[in-house]
Structure formats: structure tokens, C-alpha cells
Amino acid sequence: MTDARAGVRPGSAAANELAERHRASVGAYFDCAHSMQVCLGRPFVTDPGYRAFYDGVAPGLAVWLRDVVDANARAHGVDPEAAVWE
């Protein structure tokens, strides 16, 4: 785990704040509901290019970021397994 992620667990207040900052940065371009953010986060892990990019920044970052987005979505009433682009 990199220093930036040390102790920041998905679902924690610190992680949820990071997820909201990420959502706000996307929101600069278009409205981004929590379910939409989950959809945007799926390729972090499933797409080899995205995963290589994020894991190139820090090993394991792709899964961690996806997990943070998913946990924050759950906190806002969204089931990540059923999330749709809306």
C-alpha cells in the first residue's frame, strides 16, 4: 500500500471525502450521480489500459479507487452491483 492510501479504508470518512472530490471533478464536465460514478469506476479494474495507468501510479491503486467509489456509493444508497448510468 502506498503512503497516500495508508490507513484510508474504503467506507471511511477520509475515503468517502476522496470519492466525493473525484465525483466533483467529473461534475465539472457533466452531472455525475453516485451510480454514474460507479459506472465510471468499473473500468479502473476491468479495462487493461485504465488498470495499467492507475497501477502504474501505485500498485493496487485501481482496485482501491474502485472500492472507495463503490463504498461511497453504498453510503448514498446505491448498490454498486446494480448501478446504471443515469
HEC secondary structure over the chain: CCCCCCCCCCCCHHHHHHHHHHHHHHHCCCCCCHHHHHHHHCHHHHCHHHHHHHHHHCCCHHHHHHHHHHHHHHHCCCCHHHCCCC
Top pLDDT among 1 and 12 is at 12
Q: What are the domain boundaries of the chain?
A: 13-82
Confidence of residue 3 (pLDDT cuts 50, 70, 90): very low
37-84 confidence digits (pLDDT tens)? 999 999 999 999 999 999 999 999 999 999 999 999 999 999 999 999
Task: Please say if the pLDDT value at position 11 is more than 80.
Answer: yes
